[in-house]
Amino acid sequence: MSTFEAQLFSEIDKLRVHLMNNVDFKAESQRSVGEISPDEILTRIEGVILGIVTSLSRDEVPILVLPNRSSRANVSFDSAVGLQMSSEHSVTSVRSDCPSSVTKFAQILKILSVIYRLVQSNSYATKRDIYYNNTQLFGSQRTVDSIIDDMSCMLKVPRRSLHVLATSKGLISGDLCYLEEDGTRIDCHSNSAAVSVSPNIAGIRNIVSSAKFIMIVEKDATFQRLLDDDFCTKLSPCIIITVCCFCLSHSLFLR
């Protein structure tokens, strides 16, 4: 190994130690949110629906209360966690009797029903899947994306725990072996072929890797070009991964 490569890996090790030292109690609490059981998620959704039914039974107008994500005052930054909703955040109301919000009210209920079925059946869908299953109701992909983020904040559950994925594809290659939830052993050491990552990243276990660093790549074409150039061999040991698998890369780096 050349002097330059040794110095590069030394700086990477320093950065890794710095990041690990920043994982304090708040970060641990943040990760524990991702461990909410499916039954708890279903209970929270049922609580929202129960509130609507209760309002109707009392001859009251059903109203959904959502955290106001558009206000900067509701967002705080923590060096160990990143951006997060403030504990004392303001809210917005979506009324079912107001012409300007009745459509959004219906869209929210539709997406809640989709999420409920996904969690209940332990299946997954992408945001794009949800949009194309009812384009007339949603109107645009942006609407679906925004509502799903609202649901994540309202239910206080990470989006991945709602079984909704940003994309169906996730690629990885390099110095890594792991077991999927069903017990399948995955070896990512191939220099010519990428491994498709399971949608259920939370179910991955028994991770074995001696990689010095992880490179996160945005475009699949760039990922393939790095493979063709033997990137993982030239800078071994390392891992390259597409950006949609960021949660997996985070757990690898801080393991």
Active site residues per annotation: 132
Q: Are 240 and 218 in contact (CB under 8 A)?
A: no
Pairwise CA distance, residues 198 & 169, whole Å: 9
Cα–Cα dist 214/198, whole Å? 18
Give the single-character DSSP code of 158: -
Strands (E), 153-209: 164-165, 171-174, 177-179, 185-187, 195-196, 205-208
Helices and strands of the chain, counted as H and E runs: 10, 13
Number of Cβ within a 10 Å radius of residue 115: 25
- Cα torsion 28, 122, 140, 244 to 10°: value is 50
Please count the other Cβ atoms lying within 10 Å of the Cβ belonging to residue 177.
13
Instruction: List for the chain the helix, strand, coil content (%; round to 5).
Output: 50, 20, 30
Question: What does the block give as tokens for 79?
Answer: 């060096």
